[in-house]
Amino acid sequence: MRKDNTKELHLKLRKAVMDWLLKGEKPPTAIVFDVPMRPNGERADILAASFSRGFHTSVGRKSEATLPQRVAIGAFVCCANRRECLLEYADAREMSDEIARLREERARLEEQIRKEEPELKDQNVLFEELATWDYEKSTNPTYQKIQKSIAWYEEILYNGTKLQHFQEMEFANQLYIVVPEGLIQPEGFREEWGLIWVAEDGTVTVKHEPMQMKTQAAGKLLALKRMLETSTSNNVASLNKKYRHSLKKQ
């Protein structure tokens, strides 16, 4: 009988990410493992929070929390296999390949749009290499069709997954999926999320950088409170004492 080493692999992925975070140029203020974020028991494998000190932010009408003005929270979901990251579809790999193909075609069309629709360029940029284009307003029907196709495939692959649920909660600035090296390819991966590979020797490689997610103050407060609650059960954490006291009062 083949041994199921999923638990051991999860622990390896978590440890690798923790080491990577702590050895970075700006280590987070707090790192907590296995944080329950939803009533159904869904947990973030790792939550990492970084914040500045000495600011006060109102959260809701009934209470005020001593939250730093700039709170950055990263959520990490570790997956030992593809089934844990994506919904169970027999043709999931084929759909990922199709997303990658469509993105290549989209890049080609964006080059064409830059030539044919110069009015879509942001005129407030001084340097040409930093120019941005509002491709969503393009009148190119093929481009719009490709955008809809990419969104459709991503909806099938990711809607209902743990990381999608976390995105909808609007508590994390960045979202990451952590997998063994090579398990998921970045070419067909969801554009908003970060993808981290962990090699056999524990080396961490960010294969796809995450975008900045929309967040709400109430969502961040919830995440910090859950980090504090979870840290009392021997998980790795180092919340600043001032904010720990404030969160306990909420």
Decide: pTM greater than 0.75.
no
- Most confident range (mean pLDDT) of 42-56, 153-167, 194-208 is 194-208
Lowest mean pLDDT among 23-32, 47-56, 83-92: 83-92
Q: Decide which of 131 and 57 is more confident.
A: 131
Please tell me the predicted confidence (pLDDT) of residue 250. 44
Band of pLDDT at residue 35, cut at 50, 70 and 90: very high
Strand order in the sheet with 194-198: 30-36, 43-51, 71-78, 174-180, 194-198, 204-208
Please tell me the predicted confidence (pLDDT) of residue 241. 44
The secondary structure of the chain in percent helix, strand, coil, rounded to multiples of 5, reads 45, 20, 35
Query: Three-class SS of residue 139?
Result: coil
Q: Rounded distance, CA 125 to CA 121, Å?
A: 9
The enclosing H or E element of 96 equals helix 92-116
Domains in the chain: boundaries: 6-87+166-249, 92-157
Please tell me the predicted confidence (pLDDT) of residue 158. 78
In sequence order, the β-bridge partners of residue 32 are 47
Q: Decide which of 48 and 156 is more confident.
A: 48
pLDDT digits (tens, 9 = 90+) for 46-66: 999 987 654 444 444 444 445
Residue 214 has pLDDT above 50, yes or no: yes
Q: Rounded distance, CA 107 to CA 99, Å?
A: 12
In sequence order, the β-bridge partners of residue 43 are 36
